[in-house]
Chain A
Amino acid sequence: MYLKRKFTMFLALVLCVSIMLTTGCSTSAVNAPSEEMESTSNEEVESESASEVEEVEEEVAPKKPFEGVEINIILETVPDTNYVVELLPQFEEETGIKVNAEVLTYVAMFEKLVPQLSVAQGQGAYDVIVVDKQWVGSFVGADWLLPLEDYIQKDEVDTSVYIPSLFEMLGEVQGTTYMLPFYNYAMGLYYRTDIFEDPDLQKEYQDEFGTELRVPESNEEYIQVAKFLTRDEDGDGEIDMYGTSQQLARGVGIHAEWANLFFSNGWYYDEDWNATVNGPEGVGALNAMIELYKNSSPEGATGYNFDEQVALFNEGKAATMFSYSTMYAPLNNPEASSVAGNVEFAVAPGGHGVNGGFGWAIPRSAPDYDAAWEFLKWVESAEIAKARAEMGGSPSQAWLFNEADLIEKYPFYPVQEQVIATGKPVPIIGSAAQMVDILARELSLAVAEGKDPQQAMDDAAAEMNAIVANDPMAK
């Protein structure tokens, strides 16, 4: 009896709430019958005229092949992304596909991508993604990327236009093409031409070392030159010109700083996948990086990421800097840089820098493969690739480096081509990101906390051996 009474009260409460909610919804319909009838008849007239106009328009202009389709792409916050985004209206005009471009920082992009890539086909948020060189192994190993062979053959896309080293890194993996290279960010040495060509500094260097002051061609020479150029210029007791600007915060930056020195004569693994970073080359590169930090770089460099490093150079407070090929245009932009016009680019002192770049890919989880491929075809077409290069983009197609008008506009193209050709990539393994993280941690411990460099690299090598032991891509 008690339960029955309580249940009845509950039903009454539910009924009251339902009546209250539905009463609100019906009010507007009840209040406006006459207005509805009038507006309906007006709408009928207007819609008849509109449909007639639409029919005429359809007869005049053919329907775009992908009219009404929308795709989502994810990109990194770099200059090359800006150039693509600027050209998107042209793509929409030609194909009817509306592109929603999501632009994120490097770190944020990876964390957003991973959950989206691991879902089933059609359930991912992105139709087109960009893949960094050190994600290639894990994305391919996880079978997250759609092979593009069928599309390439169907539309007779010529992949030989790409720079071979870039296509090996960001195109074909173990015999299957998964990506089309988007842009390169091979690393080299930026230097201040006004400093290196200063006659007073040249004489001073010649008097002190007996050799000419030049863009360094070995790690040892780099350490010497950077130390020489570090000075107090205005006599206030504080250094205001540093020989180098480094990014030594724990992360991909400190790994790149070390690798640009290491690649002069070393690589991560031997042919049997035994880590070699704790050999003389790896430890020597770490010692060189520490020397540069102690003698030629601000104390705060251990907290510098990419932005802080570039800011120091942009303000004219550093003579050299390892950085990406994409930075040539921004560093020479008078609106953004106080050293514009006095910056040139060279191969890393050891002869080999870090090769890098991003590639376009279609994830297996993409909702619309065909529309995604249309975008890839368009953005890597000769016309658009050249348009991007003209805007300042970093080319991935070899023929662009031979275009006379581009060379005239960007005289550093021959150097950039050489930097890419001599660059070394990270290994294409599933655990590449983990390998970089291990190295970044040990390098940071050595630079910022004084850990013994040999011990640091020994510890890194031990972990690097462990992670490739079960890596299916490390064969």
Chain B
Amino acid sequence: MKKLRVGAKEILVIPAVLVMLGVLIFPLIFSVKTSLYNYVLSNPLYRPFIGLENYRSVLHDKQIYNSIWVTIKYTVTAVTLELVFGFILALVLTKIKYFRNIFLSILMIPMMITPIAVGLIWKMILHPDLGIFNYLLSVVGLVGRPWLGLSETALITLILIDVWQWTPFILILMYAGLLSLPQEPFEAIELDGGNYYQKLIYLVFPMLKNVILIAVVIRIIDTLRAYDLVYILTRGGPGNSTETFSFYVFKLAFTNLNMGQASAASILFLISIIFASNYLFKMLQRSD
């Protein structure tokens, strides 16, 4: 049997591992344990072990399926739009000769604002009577709507605000990827008479595949946890058209005070995120 060699570097990593265990693993184990008990904050004297009953209750709740569907719509639409806009902006940025860094800095600003502040800013902008967005629409002859007050527009409005905030993240990844591409294949394709779109399809996209996948994985994990904008702007309404999964879990914990069910829902959510990200990472490895 090979002898285990424990060196200085392994010893020095121990404190970081202990911190991770404390911050990550212990809460996870506590959450799993809580999900197996009837843990209602307002009934502290009655907390029996009930096994998988919380999981059964959550899976029988109609609201969870609506929240899953809303979350899927949110994630797919937001990530797709961010990818498209981020890539286009990165391409445009690489073509700019002067003041490129200034443009880049300005484009980064939305990403640097905290989500709560973003929600409050857009709440004012989108106010149906006093907001500047509807005012500008009226100036060009269009009719403003209560974008956050109608079930048919509320979700897409939240998605577009998310796109506004996080497209810069995709932009910076794509921009760095584009700058790092080797020039020789592009020179070769030019010699062969290839046009701009052929360069994109046969060179840029294949060479940027790993960057795109990483960006998609990170943004999918983020959008699956969408909560801040929902909390500030719509509280899951109108109706339940914007109730994402995270907001559903929040209501279980802080409205119903049912920590057992909230933990069960969170564990189910975690398992699905692990499967989804595992699948995406496998795609990444296969592309290598």
Contacts and interface: CB of A to CB of B under 8 A. Distances in A.
A431 B41 CA distance: 11
Contacts of B251: 437
B151 A449 contact: yes
Interface stretch (B90-98, B170-178, B180-188, B254-262): B254-262
B149 interface: yes
Interface in B75-89: none
Contact of A249 (B130, B145, B235): B235
Interface residues of A, number: 44
Interface string B216-243: 0000000000000000001111111100
Contacts of B147: 303
A444 B238 contact: yes
Contacts of A303: 128, 146-150, 154, 234, 238
B238 A312 contact: no
B190 interface: no
Nearest to B134: A300
Interface in B128-154: 128-130, 145-151, 154
A6 to B, nearest CB: 5
A448 B42 contact: no
B236 A250 contact: yes
Contacts, number: 117
B73 interface: no
A73 to B, nearest CB: 21
A10 interface: yes
Interface in A1-23: 2-3, 6-7, 9-10, 13
B240 A441 contact: yes
A303 B45 CA distance: 40
Interface residues of B, number: 36
B218 to A, nearest CB: 28
Given A141-B43, A302-B149, A3 B254 contact: no
Given A249-B149, A249-B237, A251-B237, A114 B127 contact: no
A114 B255 contact: no
A66 to B, nearest CB: 31
Given A300-B129, A300-B146, A250 B234 contact: yes
Contact of B11 (A10, A251, A445): A10
A311 B235 contact: no
Nearest to A299: B146
B5 interface: yes
Interface string A65-106: 000000000000000000000000000000000000000000
Contacts of B151: 448-449
A6 B128 contact: no
A451 B146 CA distance: 19
Interface in B191-223: none
A430 interface: yes
Contacts of B7: 6
Nearest to A117: B41
Given A110-B254, A250-B237, A251-B237, A448 B43 contact: no
Given A299-B145, A299-B149, A449-B151, A308 B238 contact: no
B6 A448 contact: no
Contacts of A451: 239
A143 B8 CA distance: 52
B158 to A, nearest CB: 12
Nearest to B6: A3
Contacts of B238: 249-250, 302-303, 444, 447-449
B44 interface: yes
A357 B247 CA distance: 27
13 contacts: A138-B42, A139-B42, A143-B44, A251-B237, A303-B149, A303-B238, A311-B129, A434-B257, A437-B256, A441-B239, A444-B240, A445-B239, A447-B238
Ordered nearest first, which 10 A-B pairs have the shortest CB separation?
A303-B149, A250-B237, A300-B146, A300-B128, A448-B238, A445-B239, A138-B42, A449-B239, A302-B149, A142-B42
Interface of B: 5-8, 11-12, 41-45, 127-130, 145-151, 154, 234-241, 251, 254-257
